[in-house]
Amino acid sequence: MNSILVIPSIDIKDGKTVRVVQGIPELNCPRYGDDPVEMALLWRSENAKIIHVVDFDSSHEHSHKNYDIIEEICNSVIIPVEMGGGISSFEEAETLFGLGVFRIVIGTLAYENPGEFGKIFEHYGPQKISAAIDVIDNEVVVGGRKIKTGLSPQQYGKTLANIGVERFIVTDIKKNGMLLGPNIQLSVEVAKATGGKVTVSGGVRNFKDLLDIQAAQKYGLDSVIVGRALYENKFPCQKIWRVAESNIL
C-alpha cells in the first residue's frame, strides 16, 4: 500500500496568506504571517511534495492581482504547485500554466460552462486538470459555494468522469476549516461513483484523521489537503511526512 500524499494549502487574499502558523516559536515572525512565498518555502522545507494554492480574490472577485505571487511561488519551490480559484476560461488556464502552475483545479466553470471546461480539458488532459466538488448537505454547490445545483456529488462526479476527469478534490464545506474531522465517507462515495482518484479536503484536525484516510485508500483516496490543522500546529509537521514516507502507516 502506498502512503497518502499530504498537501499543505496556502490561501491567498490581497497578496497575503489567510492563515498564520501558530504554536511554533521559530515561526512567530511577521514574514510567515503574511507572505505566501515564504509559506511555500516553509512547507517545502518540511518535505511537502506538492502545494495547493487557493486564490480567494480570483474566486470571489475574479481579480488577477495575485498572479505575480503565484508565479513567484512556482519559481521558488521545486515541487508542483496546484492552483484553484475562479478559473473561468481557456485563456486563464493558459495564463496559469504559463506562470508555472503544474495543475489547475476547476469547480464552477465545469458546471456553468461545460463547453469551455471541455475545451480546457481536451487541450491539457486529466493529469493537468482536477475537478473540485464542493458539497453542502450532500448537494454540490458552485459560484463561491453560494449556488445550489440540486446534484448529488456522486451524480455530478459521474458526469465529470464521463468527460474523462480522473482526479477529484472533494470538500465538505461544513467541515472545511472547522477541525471537525474529515468526511471520509463522502470522498469514498465519490471515488466509487467515478472510479477516479480523490483528494480529501476539509476537516482534518490531527494525525489520527490521516490514519483514517489512509485506511480508506483502497477505495481511491490517495491524498489529503490540510490547512488549518497545519497552521495551528495540531501535529508536528515533520512527523506527518517522516511517518508517511516510511510506509508504516
Is 55 an active-site residue?
no
Residue whose C-alpha is closest to residue 6's, from 220, 214, 234, 232: 214
Is 11 an active-site residue?
yes
| C-alpha 138: how far from chain center | 19
Q: Which of the following is catalytic: 11, 57, 172, 222?
A: 11
SS3 129: strand
Q: Which of the following is catalytic: 14, 57, 68, 134?
A: 134
E strand residue ranges, the chain: 5-13, 16-17, 51-55, 81-84, 103-106, 129-136, 139-142, 147-148, 167-172, 197-201, 221-226
The angle formed by the CA atoms of residues 171, 154 and 108, to the nearest 5 degrees, is 55
SS3 240: helix
The angle formed by the CA atoms of residues 209, 215 and 216, to the nearest 5 degrees, is 100
**Residues annotated catalytic, as ranges:** 11, 134
